[in-house]
Amino acid sequence: MTDNDGEADLEARLVEQERFEPPAGFVEQANVADESIYEEFEENWPHAWTRAADMLDWDSEYSQVLDDSEGPFYEWFADGTLNASYNCVDRHVENGDKNRAAIQWEGEYGETRTYTYQDLYREVNEFAAALRDLGVEEDDVVTLYMPMVPELPIAMLACARIGAPHSVVFAGFSADALATRMNAADSRYLITCDGYYRRGDPLDHLQKANDGLGGVDHGVDATVVVDRLGEDGFGHDLKGNQHDWDALLAEHTGARVDPVERSAEDMLFLMYTSGTTGQPKGVKHTTGGYLAYTTWTSHAVLDLEPEDTYWCSADIGWITGHSYIVYGPLSLGTTTVMYEGTPDFPERDRLWELVEKYAVDVFYTAPTAIRAFMKWGSEFPERHDLSSLRLLGTVGEPINPRAWKWYYKHIGDEACPIVDTWWQTETGGMMVTTLPGINTMKPGSAGPPLPGIDARVVDASGEEVDAGRAGYLTVDRPWPGMLRTLYQNDERFVNEYWQEYSDPDADEWVYFPEDGAKIDEDGYITILGRVDDVINVSGHRLGTMEIESAIVGVEGVAEAAVVGGDHEVTGEAVYAYVILEDGYEGTDEMQDAIIEGVNEAIGPIAKPEKVIFTPELPKTRSGKIMRRLLEEIANGEELGDTTTLRNPEIVEDIQVKVSD
């Protein structure tokens, strides 16, 4: 199906409509439907944030909401104590909900597992006891390199229970990426998996994990391996300090571990994300502020109720999965769905089959997925009864109005509001989005900042721009879910996020998320994309420097420049411009070697869509690569100013190669 068919499929009425009101049926039951909430946060800031904190069970109450005495090192609810695992598990068992499904897991082949809150309680306790016996102590960082198996959230909650921060590394990342993250976090424990299924084939994950372990500089005390593949496994023997998950649980049957009382500001987890340099950033999230924030936004934006079956189709290896598959929904006592496989296996209706099967109430996905569904055609959702859906969400990249409307019509049947939620690994939770029971929706625009969030669009000097003008997104006041620092690197934290628009002498701190944006007359913010050297492929954030250093590591490559070019489905795609050393040629083999190099250093998600061999890169007179120009070339756009180039003649040559 082509794009035009997609358009024809949407009635003209929808194509032209620019505003959509929340459906009355939704508003009637919405968790948050009174617009005075915006004012309440404004008037009672920061005290209004107790609303979020009060959704949690605290071991000891906090006496101060926000400590801003050492900005930008803010502290929230700092003298309160609590445990995230207790809040996500025990309290629901104690409140009489022990038999409600906590995790509804579906394997690629339709194998299912349901964990009630009682089941979750049992396994989290047993695994927490096992971790302790392996020597894990409070504040030890435990690395989790696991695909979408239930043992992943169980391990996260077990770590939280004993106060050991987890660092989840996306299973699609390479062995090298695992080693880099374990080294950076000085992590001596690894929980992993023998493998998993992808489009019908078992994948050997343990080999990658073992290779990664080989690159860890310090000693690794223990590895735990989940047996996912059974007889389909690759026959690796577990070595000296490697333990089988099931055997460990069996040894700890019935064990109970008291949840450790953690200070609100104690680290709950680390999450490595890409930035401008080659070295990933270890974003630190805390127990109190993060959990309060994800719980509150799951309630207010995702409208979750304990009775709901909720499905976020992200991978737990990214922040979306942490906040909105695991912590937010489980803290609220909701049933969260986890799916191991891809949307098009065995058929392109797989997700809709699951929505029908589990009668999913709320569904949260990425624009990339929606663009793919749209391309595949509406006959796939039409095969299923999707009437259980009440609310739809998107995250991770800008959604174009056409995809928004397709989602609204073909998945939501024009009866579900859509929340287009802007946020980041660093923000912990949603920041800019409509509240589904209150605000008018405008396709393509995320919406106003959430209550209590002071997001603005400013120009280079920090002045707010007029409606309709493009500028930079900033956040002027702190919020509970914000990152507290970059792991063991306060200086980089300040430099990365608090440089551009802050006035340290006046103790005025402004957070800069590195996104471009514009704002309209109603205060709705449209996100225009990253303004740093980060690209967004299928909602996955990749650093161009990381990819470039992978390419330069390939034998025969002299220099590389990577940019994001527009892509119909994935939003952006990796375009790699490569200069070879003398004696090497831009052959197919060379291209394969480059792709394999990226695969090894990062993983298949970072694979270049196009490799362009060139004798030179366009550089300014001061020797800087002109990336803007390379982006324009990748997109086949008209070129901007090239007069500052020292080698303008190369541009045409590259243009020809890209269009080949």
Residues binding ligand PRX (CB under 6 A):
273, 319-320, 395-398, 420-425, 446, 513, 515, 527, 529-530, 536, 541
CB of 205 to ligand PRX, least distance (A): 22
Q: Do residues 516 and 470 lie in contact, with contact meaning Cβ atoms separated by under 8 Å?
A: yes
CB of 489 to ligand PRX, least distance (A): 17
Q: Which is nearer to ligand PRX, 107 or 429 (CB)?
A: 429
Q: Which is nearer to ligand PRX, 83 or 274 (CB)?
A: 274
Q: Which is nearer to ligand PRX, 519 or 527 (CB)?
A: 527
Which uninterrupted H or E stretch holds 131?
helix 117-133
Q: Which is nearer to ligand PRX, 76 or 512 (CB)?
A: 512
H helix count then E strand count, the chain: 24, 29
HEC-encoded secondary structure of 635-656: CCCCCCCCCCECCCHHHHHHHH
How big is the chain by its Cα radius of gyration, in Å?
A: 24
Q: Which is nearer to ligand PRX, 249 or 391 (CB)?
A: 391
User: Which residue, 424, 428, 377, 369, is CA-closest to 399?
Assistant: 369
CB of 499 to ligand PRX, least distance (A): 17
CB of 496 to ligand PRX, least distance (A): 12
Q: Which is nearer to ligand PRX, 197 or 511 (CB)?
A: 511
User: Measured in whole angstroms, how far is the alpha carbon of residue 314 from the centre of its chain?
Assistant: 8
Q: Which is nearer to ligand PRX, 86 or 364 (CB)?
A: 364
CB of 497 to ligand PRX, least distance (A): 12
Measure the CA angle with vertex 640, ends 634 and 645; round to 5°. 95
Q: Which residues contact 345 (CB under 8 A, 6 or more apart)?
A: 108, 198, 199, 200
User: Which residue, 420, 368, 407, 326, is CA-closest to 605?
Assistant: 368
Q: Which is nearer to ligand PRX, 89 or 144 (CB)?
A: 144
CB of 173 to ligand PRX, least distance (A): 13
- 188/190 Cα distance (integer angstroms): 7
CB of 476 to ligand PRX, least distance (A): 17
As given in the structure block, the two tokens for residue 566 are: 């527009």
- 60/50 Cα distance (integer angstroms): 14
CB of 57 to ligand PRX, least distance (A): 27
Measure the CA angle with vertex 55, ends 338 and 95; round to 5°. 70
Q: Which is nearer to ligand PRX, 81 or 434 (CB)?
A: 434
CB of 314 to ligand PRX, least distance (A): 8
- 409/10 Cα distance (integer angstroms): 8
DSSP annotation string for 394-444: EESS---HHHHHHIIIIITTT-S-EEEEB--TTT-S--B---TTTSPB-TT
